[in-house]
Amino acid sequence: MTNPNNATNTTVHSAEFISGHALSIPTLRLLKDDGTLYDGAQEPELDKATALKMYDTMVFTRVLDERMLAAQRQGRISFYMQCLGEEAAIVGSAAALDDKDMIMAQYREQGALRYRGFSLEQFMNQLFSNEKDLGKGRQMPVHYGSKDIYYMTVSSPLGTQIPQASGYAYAQRLRGLSNVTLCYFGEGAASEGDFHAGLNMAAVHKAPVLFFCRNNGYAISTPANEQFVGDGIACRGVGYGIKTMRVDGADILAVYQATKMAREQALASNEPILLESMAYRLGAHSSSDDPSGYRSKEEEDEWRKNDPISRFRLWLINKGWLDDAADTEQTSQLRQEILDALKVAEKVAKPGIEHMITDVYAEPTQQLQQQLNELKAHIKKYPDAYPVTAGRID
Amino acid sequence: MTNPNNATNTTVHSAEFISGHALSIPTLRLLKDDGTLYDGAQEPELDKATALKMYDTMVFTRVLDERMLAAQRQGRISFYMQCLGEEAAIVGSAAALDDKDMIMAQYREQGALRYRGFSLEQFMNQLFSNEKDLGKGRQMPVHYGSKDIYYMTVSSPLGTQIPQASGYAYAQRLRGLSNVTLCYFGEGAASEGDFHAGLNMAAVHKAPVLFFCRNNGYAISTPANEQFVGDGIACRGVGYGIKTMRVDGADILAVYQATKMAREQALASNEPILLESMAYRLGAHSSSDDPSGYRSKEEEDEWRKNDPISRFRLWLINKGWLDDAADTEQTSQLRQEILDALKVAEKVAKPGIEHMITDVYAEPTQQLQQQLNELKAHIKKYPDAYPVTAGRID
Amino acid sequence: MAKMNMLQAINNALDLAMAKDDSVLCFGEDVGHFGGVFRATSKLQEKYGRERCFNTPLTEQGIAGFANGMAAQGMKPVAEIQFADYIFPAFDQIVNETAKFRYRSGNEFNVGGLVFRTPYGGGIAGGHYHSQSPEAYFAHTPGLQVIVPRDPYQAKGLLLAAINSPDPVIFFEPKRLYRASVGEVPEAYYELPIGKAEVVQEGSDLTLLAWGAQMEIVQKAADMASEKDGISCEIIDLRSILPWDVDTVVESVLKTGRLVINHEAPLTGGFAGEIAATIQQQCFLHLESPIERVCGLDVPYPLALEKEYIADHLKTYEAIVRSMNF
Amino acid sequence: MAKMNMLQAINNALDLAMAKDDSVLCFGEDVGHFGGVFRATSKLQEKYGRERCFNTPLTEQGIAGFANGMAAQGMKPVAEIQFADYIFPAFDQIVNETAKFRYRSGNEFNVGGLVFRTPYGGGIAGGHYHSQSPEAYFAHTPGLQVIVPRDPYQAKGLLLAAINSPDPVIFFEPKRLYRASVGEVPEAYYELPIGKAEVVQEGSDLTLLAWGAQMEIVQKAADMASEKDGISCEIIDLRSILPWDVDTVVESVLKTGRLVINHEAPLTGGFAGEIAATIQQQCFLHLESPIERVCGLDVPYPLALEKEYIADHLKTYEAIVRSMNF
Ligand SMILES: Cc1ncc(C[n+]2csc(CCOP(=O)(O)OP(=O)(O)O)c2C)c(N)n1
Ligand SMILES: Cc1ncc(C[n+]2csc(CCOP(=O)(O)OP(=O)(O)O)c2C)c(N)n1
Ligand SMILES: [Mg+2]
Ligand SMILES: [Mg+2]
């Protein structure tokens, strides 16, 4: 008998459940806390320049996060989100890509932007929604994006980028490009229907997309054990027939290695891969959040020991690639650069009033043009009420 | 280190993918084609009366389907959907339930209605959308439902009943009822985001719901291998931490046994269970469909041999519980009854015009009342144009 | 009476409803222990247990589907959608399921008792994914009730009425007012009527209509028109968007002959269109000037230019004057 | 020229677009080998291969998300939603993503070239899940274009324009006319303008406005009014719901002084409200009678009482007479 149901065709004659935890997925870890490799672990191929770029990017992310969270506390920007604790997951995966692989992020992946060359000024312009922001000041802070560096503009609704990544990667394949799409999302976002749709469609239509789930233990206040019952997110791979790997998200070598392998596999056989990074969201969810209401300081402290940066730093020092003092000096210099850039960006004007209506359509419709004209006339009549734009209307 | 990621906490030091087919799920089958049991198979506890009721229900479904498809061809009803090939899956599962377990169906599960006591007249009234239809003639044929027999009214949008079943079952548990909810859906509907949401929520919130997937090989014209890549639908259970069983959907004893076990387990430990029935949609998708455009007669013929009714029939005859001649006589009598009922129902009047606006809200709003009044006045003015209602307006 | 802000009034309403009726449940993303990102469900889990007040996985379609099923069983689920901007994944469950549950079954089943609470609206530097006012999407959907309260007193009374309603309700909460709006609220249980608008200020020259957070704004515009031009505005809070109270608006416009409608959502396809269409029809011979709509521009809600975007009191004042001088 | 029904015209448009441009793809449920449940994509897989014309898994939100991603890469996906009633699971992807893609990124990315085709409307004994006309839900969403053709010629020209548009389009196809509407259609490539209404019959007494399958119905009503009462109707096909052609409607109403709007969707919150609100404002002093709306009742689309529900030619005729006799 043929089997049109598209499933295993073996028969048993006594009734037994398959356990909901029939599949147990281990976590790849290469680096020990002390920066040496585990026995039997193989170091990924990584030249010094790349390794240092990865390290610098992690540090950049860490320092930027510190600085901008402080800026938010001072009321200079309205909102911020840190990557704290997950820097290795982001930078390690981004570093394993080709520059023209598309990245579709959730919001906590500033390391990937930086690795691709997003400049300090570009970060600042977005954070201050000024007229130099590539996004024209239309979205909240941390919603970065840049066509030039193949980084899709971040969108707040969770999970929506997942089926989009499948479609994007399908298009890459049809165009004959040797590129994949990397799609980041949280373990919380993985509960959305779009996750299911995106993974299944990628599997069925052979889209070379790397689904990179950042399982960091929390979705705002909701702990992972109120988010799902299965074995993390990785165990869902088998539900879609997708090759899967789980990786220690605080171990940048492991993340790099897993992502490299995933990329090669995805391109070699035109198929999606699911990666799950296990790390911990060490900071608050966002500048609007205070985790003390839903988790203990002890838990946080425990995880603070698991710092992805110091682990990699030790490895670099062991290798003789990093000089402790020079590094410390460089970091304090970076702090100053960030502060300087911040001071510049916050003084840049906001986008002009015409950008109220541009980009809704490729060309503003007649109705929009008319709404803008009326708005301009109104602002001219009440300039004091609209200080941001009033002085700049022709 | 604690593990807030809610997942396996074992480590490996060399990178390897978990295969997308790491889990292979066998199919439970008890009855051979000749109506005898496989070696080692255990017969479920089933008394004669229940067994015969199951058989009668399957036959009823089969004969009703034949007759009503013909009625559709004659233009007497507008639409119809058969259960052909899946009768055992439906009746076997429905028979394993308590009368007060809620059933939430997709649309192809008339056997479950019948098993619960939905009368021939009730079927007919719905199919003819007449004024005796419990649904007041508002939905297309086969969208049955009845509060009295705990059968949720069918709704066309696919998959929507899945998270609803989780919510319903959660409420059953909170009320302290010893009842489960059985939720039927197709392998096509399992691609909807609502599937993902429904299974995950049931697992997290410990809702005693039996998810019963009818994997019948097709979603209209789309074969299962263009619907998913994984091992059927059952392999998704592990993604949600849900106990799972796959069963031959043409083997009513296996289905009965699996569903009974699932029900017990769900109630014992307040958890959802996933069941996957492997059978074949032998008929067209619906009366609007012609499968010859997308599958071969050979494939159909092959599967026609796998008839669920004849397999069970042989078992009953082997047991001495069924008399061949009496059964044949009974079936032809049933045919006549159906025809008679059909002739009655098609002459029953359509619902009155007031049912245009009832049940939109518990009480019609003032606006609706006014819309109805205007409509009545209009119909009175043009009675010939609205023959169904014109004669009956006060 | 107690002084409460809007969040406290909502929390108090939920608390009373849960105390009064075991079948009332609250859930949604971060709704449990944490009490919701705005703290509207604060302490409810502590008081009523994890089974009646809980976190859900992050899936709005799941929340809505779960709520539908629960309500069909006879429970009264009060489901929170964290931001109204994130209600769209639940759109099918709400528009095709919630709204049609009773009708399609011929009243065999219904989801009365179901309430979706969700914070909506702008003015909080939220950009287009934390500022939307999607009431018009739902107002085109027979079977739903759609409510927007303007202050703590209204919020409590309307929410209690919503939970007690035999029909499903979408309850939009003006998040800009969550803490900003403070007022006297009776501590006991009370309901305010669904489907009834309220004349909050009588006037003779012009009818000014709005709902939710815009009520403050139109009041300011009316005050300005009164002070600067001696114009007497009658101000109406629509409160229920669906079903809406045509009679109260008609009565007012028959008296004033002029109507200005204000809402936050974009102009095109917004609910002001429905109101204007109905009123021009019912008050045709009494209208002394065209009905004016003061709304958001037809663009996604912006961030840096939020102030310019908003249907503020100055734009409303201008419309009042325009209407008077027509 | 060739005689085609609407399905053939649509199929022909897709065929031409795929032949002309490699980046055009067609997909959706049953769209591949089978050619779609209505056969609109018939033979396209055979001609252009399984990678450019294919079945998708059964997930509208997935289809829309996939299409968004594909279009962001520069492809021109023409995604079919099997029935407009099933577009709601994709609502978030369309309203929050498709519509805002260009704006939110400051034009770094866009999904121009993306078209959602979907059969809409009643009159086919489909009940409330195979009959809906959801255009108003989308018309409240800046960033989308919404189009409804009335016949094969229009369908082909507008669909080709949609695929070639730099902005995403929702293309609603009146399924009742798929086979019923037959007409002469040029075989070559041509486009019809998006955002432009068409005066399909000039007249002097009253403007009659509709779109899609209702065009037939209003024509019948106009003929009846002409024959029975000598009323001269100017008939306009709106064609684009978003952006809509205010000027053409205003110009007509300035001439006739009267407007009757007809649509299939329920009255409340339907797009006729937007049109009436705009026109009463722009033509206030020229209106000789209230703008009339002839629409579906505010109930889910029924089955047995479909004939009574529909905004048919008799109801339209009555509105015309009412408007004339006001
Ligand atoms: C559709 C949708 N629902 C809700 C939200 C509100 N929200 C923003 S972030 C967040 C939690 C996300 O958690 P997770 O996916 O685990 O990512 P993490 O923040 O841990 O990186 C929520 C609920 C949203 N942005 N979109
Ligand atoms: C949301 C939604 N999308 C599309 C459809 C149209 N449709 C009706 S049945 C069907 C196929 C369902 O296949 P499956 O779930 O496998 O069930 P089967 O018909 O095989 O029993 C489709 C696509 C629908 N009813 N609802
Ligand atoms: Mg997380
Ligand atoms: Mg199927």
Strand partners, C5: C182
Catalytic one among A21, A73, A138, A294? A294
Are residues D252 and D199 in contact, defined by beta-carbon separation less than 8 angstroms? yes
- Report the 10 Å Cβ neighbour count for B43: 12
Q: For all residues of chain C together, what is the average pLDDT?
A: 98
Interface test with D, best of C68, C91, C261 (most D CBs within 10 A): C91
Tokens of D259: 């407007």
Assign B3 a pLDDT band (cuts: 50, 70, 90): confident
- Ligand 4 centre from D263 Cα, in Å? 36
What pLDDT is stored for residue D264 in this prediction?
A: 98
| pLDDT at res. C306 | 97
Q: What is the mean pLDDT of residues D119-143?
A: 97
Average pLDDT along chain D: 98
pLDDT at B4 > cutoff 90: no
pLDDT tens profile D259-305: 999 999 999 999 999 999 999 999 999 999 999 999 999 999 999 99
**Rounded to 5 degrees, what are φ and ψ at D290?**
-60, 145
How does residue A1 score in pLDDT terms, banded at 50, 70 and 90?
A: very low
Task: Give residue-wise pLDDT tens across range A133-148.
Answer: 999 999 999 999 999 9
The answer on pLDDT for C208 being more than 50 is yes
**Cα–Cα distance measured from residue D138 to residue A7, given in angstroms and rounded to the nearest whole number:** 40
CATH number for D2-185: choose from 3.40.50.1970, 3.30.300.20, 3.90.79.10, 3.40.50.970. Answer: 3.40.50.970
Instruction: Report the b/e string of C233-253 with b at 16+ CB within 10 A.
Output: bbbbbbbbbbbbbbebbbbbb
The dihedral sign for the CA sequence D262, D264, D270, D271: negative
Give, using CA atoms, the residue closest to atom 11 of ligand 1. Answer: A219
pTM for this one? 0.98
Q: D294-322: per-residue pLDDT in tens?
A: 999 999 999 999 999 999 999 999 999 99
Shortest Cα–Cα distance, C59 to chain A (Å):
5
Ligand having the closest approach to the CA of B142: 2
Chain B residues inside the 8 Å CB shell of D61: 192-193
CB A208 less than 6 A from any atom of ligand 1: no
Per-window interface: B 165-194 vs C, CB < 8 A: 165-172, 174-175, 181, 193-194
Ranking A3-7, A22-26, A308-312, B388-392 by mean pLDDT, the lowest is A3-7
Cβ contact, residue pair D299, C96, below 8 Å:
no
- Find the largest Cα–Cα distance for chain C: 60
Angle (CA) D42-D47-D49 rounded to 5° is 100
Average pLDDT, chain B: 96
Which ligand gives the minimal distance to the CA of B82? 2
Any chains having at least 3 CB pairs less than 8 A from chain C are A, B, D
pLDDT (0 to 100) of residue B1: 43
Percent of chain A predicted with pLDDT > 70: 99
Q: How many angstroms away from the CA of C27 is the closest CA of chain A?
A: 12
How far is the alpha carbon of D64 from chain B, nearest alpha carbon, in Å? 12
Average pLDDT of the residues in A262-271: 98
Spatial distance between the Cα atoms of B95 and B112, rounded to a whole number of angstroms: 8
Q: CATH 3.40.50.920 spans which residues of chain C? A: 198-325
Write out the residue limits of the CATH 3.40.50.970 domain(s) in chain D.
2-185
For the purposes of burial, counting CB atoms within 10 Å of the CB of A326, is it exposed (0-12), middle (13-18) or buried (19 or more)?
exposed
Radius of gyration over alpha carbons of chain D, in Å? 19
What pLDDT is recorded for position B244? Answer: 98
β-pairing, D115-120 vs D169-174, is parallel
Q: Could you give the percent of chain C with pLDDT greater than 70?
A: 100
Catalytic residues of B: 281, 285, 294
DSSP calls for A119-151: -HHHHHHHHTT-TT-TTTT-S-TT---BTTTTB
Q: Closest chain B residue to A160 measured between Cα atoms? A: B193
Determine which helix (DSSP H) or strand (DSSP E) holds D281, and give its type and residue range.
Answer: helix D271-282
C243 neighbourhood in chain B, CB within 8 Å: 361, 365-367
B188 lines ligand 2 (CB under 6 A): yes
- Taking only the tens place, the pLDDT of each residue in A234-257 is 999 999 999 999 999 999 999 999
What is residue A164's predicted lDDT score, i.e. its pLDDT? 98
Instruction: Assess whether the C-beta atom of A207 lies below 6 angstroms from ligand 1.
Output: no
For residue D300, the chain B residues in CB contact (below 8 A) are 138, 360
Listing DSSP states for C291-302 in one string gives PEEEEE-SS---
- For residues D296 and D247, the answer to whether their CB atoms sit within 8 Å is no
The answer on pLDDT for A107 being more than 90 is yes
Searching chain D, which residue's CA lies closest to the CA of residue A135? D106
C-alpha A83 chain-centroid distance: 9
Rounded Cα–Cα distance for residues B321 and A309 (Å): 74
D130 classed as catalytic: yes
Q: What is the CA radius of gyration of chain B?
A: 23
D260, containing H or E segment: strand D259-266
Check CB contact under 8 Å for A356 and C88.
Answer: no
Subunit contact C268:D142, Cβ cutoff 8 A? yes
Cross-chain Cβ contact B371/D297 below 8 Å: yes
Q: What is the B83 CA–ligand 4 centroid distance (Å)?
A: 11
Q: Given an 8 Å threshold on Cβ–Cβ distance, is C298 in contact with A139?
A: no
Does residue A62 line the site of ligand 1, with CB under 6 A? no
Cβ(A219) to ligand 1 under 6 A? yes
Alpha carbon C168 to its chain's center: 14
For residue A2, is pLDDT > 60? no
Instruction: Name the residue among D115, D121, D111 with its Cα closest to residue D81.
Output: D115
For D62-91, what is the mean pLDDT? Answer: 98
The alpha-carbon gap from B153 to the nearest alpha carbon of chain D, in Å, equals 14
Nearest to A274, CA basis, from A190, A172, A151: A190
Looking at chain D, the whole-number percentage of residues with pLDDT higher than 90 is: 100
Q: How far, in Å, is the centroid of ligand 1 from the Cα of A286?
A: 10
What is the best residue among D58, D85, D93 to mutate for testing ligand 2's pocket, by most ligand atoms within 8 Å of CB? D58
Q: Find out whether C141 and C87 touch, Cβ atoms under 8 Å.
A: no
Q: State the pLDDT at residue A8.
A: 83
> Active-site residue among A173, A214, A285, A311?
A285
Q: Which of D60, D135, D173, D234 is catalytic?
A: D60
Contacts of C62 in chain B (CB under 8 A): 163, 166, 194, 196-198, 200-201
Q: How far is ligand 2, taken at its centre, from the CA of residue B220, in Å?
A: 7
Number of Cβ within 10 Å of residue C198's Cβ equals 17
User: Which residues does chain A have within 8 Å of residue D66's beta carbon, measured at their own beta carbons?
Assistant: 163-164, 166-167, 170, 197-198, 201, 205
- Is A280 marked active-site? no
Nearest CA in chain A to D94: A160
CA distance D182 to D185: 9
Given this model, what pLDDT does residue B388 score? Answer: 93
Residue of B nearest to C28 (CA): B201
Write the DSSP assignment of D150-201 as a string of letters: -SHHHHHHHHHHHHT-SS-EEEEEEGGGTTT-EEEE-SS-----TT--EEEE
Whole-angstrom distance, CA of residue A289 vs CA of residue A355: 31
* pLDDT 10s digits, A289-307: 999 999 999 999 999 999 9
HEC sequence for C82-128: CCHHHCHHHHHHHHHHHHHHHHHCCCCCCCCCCEEEEEECCCCCCHH
* Cross-chain residue pair D300–C100, CB shorter than 8 Å: yes
Residue having the nearest C-alpha atom to atom 17 of ligand 1: A186
Ligand 2, atom 12, residue with closest C-alpha? B219
**Cα(A252)–Cα(A311) distance, integer angstroms:** 9
The span from the CA of D16 to the CA of D18, in Å, is 5
Q: Which of A157, A288, A382 sits opposite C129 (nearest CB)?
A: A157
Catalytic residue among C130, C135, C234, C263: C130
Is the pLDDT at C271 greater than 60? The verdict is: yes
Mean pLDDT of chain A: 96
Over residues B64-81, the pLDDT tens digits come to: 999 999 999 999 999 999
Pick one of 2.50.20.20, 3.90.120.10, 3.30.750.200, 3.40.50.920 as the CATH number of D198-325: 3.40.50.920
Atom in ligand 2 nearest the alpha carbon of residue D129 = 25
Write the pLDDT tens digit of every residue in A48-106.
Answer: 999 999 999 999 999 999 999 999 999 999 999 999 999 999 999 999 999 999 999 99
For A300-334, give the DSSP string.
HHHHHTT-HHHHHHHHHHHHT---HHHHHHHHHHH
Count of CB pairs separated by less than 8 Å, B with C: 155
CB contact under 8 A, C69 and B164: yes
